[in-house]
Amino acid sequence: MYALEVKGVKKTYKSRKKETEALKGLDLQVKKGEIFGILGPNGAGKTTLIKICSTLLGKTDGEVTVLGMDIEKEEKEIRKRIGYIGQDSERSTYARLTGKENLEFFSALYNMSKEDFLEQLKEFKKTYENHEIFDKEVMRLSGGQKQAIVVMRGFLHNPDLVFADEISKGLDPIAAKRIRTFVKDYAKKKGKTVIITSQIMSEIEELCDRVAIIFEGKVVAVDTPQKLMDDVNIQLLEIRLRSTETATPEFIQEVVTLESVLDVQQENGYLRIPVSDSSKAFEAVMEMCRKFGINPVISYRTATLEDVFLKYCDKKVDLEA
Amino acid sequence: MSVQNVRYAFNSSMRVLGKGIWRDLVNIRRYKLRLIGWLMNMMIGLGAAYIFGVILNFNPITTSQTGILSTQVFVFFAGGIALSTFSDTALWAPMGRVQQDIHYGTLEAVFVTPTSRIAYLLSPTISDSILNLLFFIPAYIVVLGVHGSLTDGYVLGTTMLIVLLTIISMIAFGLFFAMLAILVRRIQPVAIFLSNIFQFICGAFVPVQAFIGLNQTGGTILKYIAQLFPYTYCYDLFRYYMFGDVYTTLFPVWLEYVLLVVSSFLFVGLAFLLLKRVENKAKDSGLAIL
């Protein structure tokens, strides 16, 4: 049994003037205990999918099974067993209550006993070391600390499955890292399934066991991050020019004609050079740089998740040439 | 639904109601400026009632010509303030909560839980009523003392009765407005308009008995419509306690109590049924809730 199974789900938003098809027959399966990532550009349907699966939004067509239960027939039971962390939800706490009081309020909405709540709080304190967030009024916490309370709220009632929609959006790297660490440590320790959407590739790469890429309301790729990256056959040389150096059109023209070099793209003091054979190309490019009196910093990399994202979601940029 | 399920749902609803009230009371305790504003507002209102009471008390001509006693005048003003304050509370508190929770995104976090929506929406009405009472009762007792009516159980009892009847009769309509807020984001102007119409029909400005005098057919229809609403009986009983036997109520007083309570329960039941439909509608359309 899957933690989440989505079959041919469609969602159309209707207004007086027009109809917008947000999901166009989407299929997805998430295994129990997985941290599963959903990637996609703005408007791809990620939030719509998360809201449908967490009972906040109705679907137009298709089937959704959450923890083996039908989303329409067993809505209330599903709500008892799932957690939800909404997008931009940092303000969704009660500002004048402390972090602990906020969690306590929501524990009542899940009908948790006082003992269970205190036990869960203890668990959170073990995983999230900054304990002051529990005792201060939320209005006095930083954005990252508020978000930590919201994330804990999603895990509060010990749900089997948690939906997390862009949990580190707008946070600084340190706060984002803390949130990610909390989610990963807590979910793995407790064996929870987490479905997370994000625009931050490194976040998905760090957290997720598998990733689905959604584009225009459909899943266009699903696999482990590593497998997805392996499938994008990219070998790339990146040349960082020093501030005193410029890549002349003649230099670029010469590099393009080198054996194994597929293309040269210039942006913000960098030259990105997709190649077919990195070792051959590296030597040839170094030689060309010396000829033009350029002393560059050259790095070599294979495909990143961003390249995977671009491959599926931006048809104009095809690094595989 | 089994007995255990009913018991579970009831206990869970009571917890949510209790926690919602606790949340609002903690909030106001920490919002000092709002607390002071609230207190001042209440003092001004009761001070005005006291002044009116004293003026009429010292005017023997008014008393002899109208036959209205000073105590009744006092009840009129104090009761009026109570009625206005607590009908506003019952009518607007749930809607205010929904609007605030939509604005901050809290409603999503609440609606993804299995909690009782009705209990969640009712909690601000009760917490606001408790807060109002916390300020209203001490200030009211002070004014009663100055007026010399402290030992007059009739005055205090009548005012408290009006408070209670107002809250009971308005609870369902507060829920209806909260539902409108779930469906439509900027509903305030429409809600105020609807509330004025509703208050007119229930006899806030002109007694329901006088509708016929405005127009024979229309007045009669309006009167029958008014008799469906609990708030009509609230106003009618208020006038009865103000004027005593001089005033003829729509129905015998005991029957008005029965009608008020029964129709209040019916409307709360209707609100309960409608809320599920409203939530489904919001889910389909992705309206204000989203």
DSSP string, B35-61: HHHHHHHHHHHHHHHHHHHHHHHT-HH
**Partners of A14 in the beta sheet?**
A19
B window 158-217, beta carbon within 8 A of A: none
pLDDT at B289: 47
Nearest to B23 among A79, A94, A153 (CB): A94
pLDDT at A320: 43
Percent of chain A with pLDDT over 90: 52
Hey, is the C-beta of B280 within 8 angstroms of any chain A C-beta? Answer: yes
Chain-chain contact of A96 with B27 (C-beta, under 8 angstroms): yes
Chain-chain contact of A13 with B280 (C-beta, under 8 angstroms): no
Displacement of CA A3 from its chain's centroid (Å)? 19
pLDDT at A214: 94
At B139-151, the pLDDT tens digits run: 777 777 777 777 7
Residue B59 pLDDT level (bands cut at 50, 70, 90): low
Burial status of residue A206 (CB atoms within 10 A of its CB: 0-12, 13-18, 19 or more): middle
Gap between the Cα atoms of A229 and A283, Å rounded: 25
Q: Say how many CB pairs under 8 Å bridge A and B.
A: 86
At A31-90, the pLDDT tens digits run: 999 999 999 998 899 999 999 999 999 999 999 999 999 999 999 999 999 999 988 777
Q: Which residues contact B78 (CB under 8 A, 6 or more apart)?
A: B46, B49, B53, B140, B143, B155, B159
| Residues B215, B244 contacting (CB under 8 angstroms) | no
Gap between the Cα atoms of A197 and A36, Å rounded: 9
Residue A170 has pLDDT above 90, yes or no: no
pTM for this prediction: 0.83
Q: Which residues of chain A are within 8 Å of residue B18 when distances are taken between CB atoms?
A: 108
Nearest to B106 among A77, A84, A92 (CB): A92
Q: Which residues of chain A are within 8 Å of residue B112 when distances are taken between CB atoms?
A: 54-56, 79, 82, 84
Residue A128 has pLDDT above 90, yes or no: no
pLDDT at A317: 42
In B148-229, where does DSSP find H-type helix?
153-183, 188-201, 211-214, 216-226
At A247-257, the pLDDT tens digits run: 888 888 888 88
Residue A316 pLDDT level (bands cut at 50, 70, 90): very low
Nearest to A108 among B15, B105, B290 (CB): B15
What average pLDDT does range B34-57 have in this prediction?
76
Residue type, A181: T
CA distance B198 to chain A (A): 30
Handedness of CA B45, B46, B50, B52 (dihedral sign): positive
Chain-chain contact of B104 with A111 (C-beta, under 8 angstroms): no
Residue B182 has pLDDT above 90, yes or no: no
pLDDT at A36: 97
CA distance A15 to chain B (A): 8
How crowded is residue A118: how many other Cβ atoms within 10 Å of its Cβ? Answer: 14
Residue B160 has pLDDT above 70, yes or no: yes
Chain-chain contact of A84 with B285 (C-beta, under 8 angstroms): no
Among B32, B104, B112, most A C-beta atoms within 10 A, so best to mutate, is: B112
What average pLDDT does range A1-9 have in this prediction?
95
Residue B67 pLDDT level (bands cut at 50, 70, 90): low
Gap between the Cα atoms of B106 and A146, Å rounded: 13
What average pLDDT does range A206-226 have in this prediction?
93
> Which token pair is A55?
């009972």
pLDDT: is B202 or B65 the higher one? Answer: B202
pLDDT at A267: 79
pLDDT: is A82 or B118 the higher one? Answer: A82
Hey, is the C-beta of A2 within 8 angstroms of any chain B C-beta? Answer: no
Mapping DSSP onto H, E and C, the string for chain A reads: CCCEEEEEEEEEEECCCCEEEEEEEEEEEECCCCEEEEECCCCCCHHHHHHHHCCCCCCCEEEEEECCEECCCCHHHHHHHEEEECCCHHHHCCCCCEHHHHHHHHHHHCCCCHHHHHHHHHHHHHHCCCCHHHHCEHHHCCHHHHHHHHHHHHHCCCCCEEEEECCCCCCCHHHHHHHHHHHHHHHHHHCCEEEEEECCHHHHHHHCCEEEEEECCEEEEEECHHHHHHHCCCEEEEEECCCCCCCCHHHHHHHHCCCCECCCEEECCEEEEEECCHHHHHHHHHHHHHHCCCCCEEEEEECCHHHHHHHHHCCCCCCCC
What angle do the packed helices B153-183 and B253-285 form, to 10 degrees?
20
> Which token pair is B125?
């009405």
**Degrees to nearest 5, angle at CA B177 with B10 and A78:** 45
How crowded is residue A189: how many other Cβ atoms within 10 Å of its Cβ? Answer: 11
ipTM value: 0.82
Computed over every residue of chain A, the mean pLDDT equals 89
At A61-75, the pLDDT tens digits run: 999 999 999 999 999
Among A53, A56, A66, most B C-beta atoms within 10 A, so best to mutate, is: A56
Q: Which residues contact B279 (CB under 8 A, 6 or more apart)?
A: B111, B117, B182, B289
Q: Which residues of chain B are within 8 Å of residue A94 when distances are taken between CB atoms?
A: 23, 27, 106
pLDDT at B58: 59
pLDDT at A165: 92
First to last CA, chain B: 31
Computed over every residue of chain B, the mean pLDDT equals 82
| Domain of residue B78, residue span | 3-289
At B232-263, the pLDDT tens digits run: 998 898 888 777 777 888 999 999 999 999 99
pLDDT: is A238 or B135 the higher one? Answer: A238
Number of domains into which chain B is organized: 1
Taking Cα atoms as reference points, which of A154, A129, A152, A130 lies closest to residue A142? A130
Gap between the Cα atoms of A211 and A276, Å rounded: 27
CA distance B116 to chain A (A): 8
pLDDT at B180: 87
A window 221-250, beta carbon within 8 A of B: none
DSSP type of residue B254: H
Over the range A167-183, which residues count as b (16 or more CB within 10 Å of their CB) and which as e? bbbebeeebbbbbbebb
Q: Which residues of chain A are within 8 Å of residue B285 when distances are taken between CB atoms?
A: 13-14
Of A189-203, A291-305, B30-44, B71-85, which range is least confident?
Answer: B71-85
Gap between the Cα atoms of B252 and B257, Å rounded: 9
pLDDT: is B139 or A304 the higher one? Answer: A304
Among B7, B108, B118, B280, most A C-beta atoms within 10 A, so best to mutate, is: B108
Closest residue in A to B8 (Cα–Cα): A111
Taking Cα atoms as reference points, which of B242, B216, B212, B219 lies closest to residue B53? B242
Chain-chain contact of B19 with A109 (C-beta, under 8 angstroms): yes
CA distance B193 to chain A (A): 25
Gap between the Cα atoms of A127 and A273, Å rounded: 43
Chain-chain contact of A94 with B113 (C-beta, under 8 angstroms): no
What average pLDDT does range A129-136 have in this prediction?
90
pLDDT at B239: 84
pLDDT at B266: 93
Length of chain A: 321
Nearest to A13 among B27, B104, B286 (CB): B286
Hey, is the C-beta of A128 within 8 angstroms of any chain B C-beta? Answer: no
First to last CA, chain A: 41
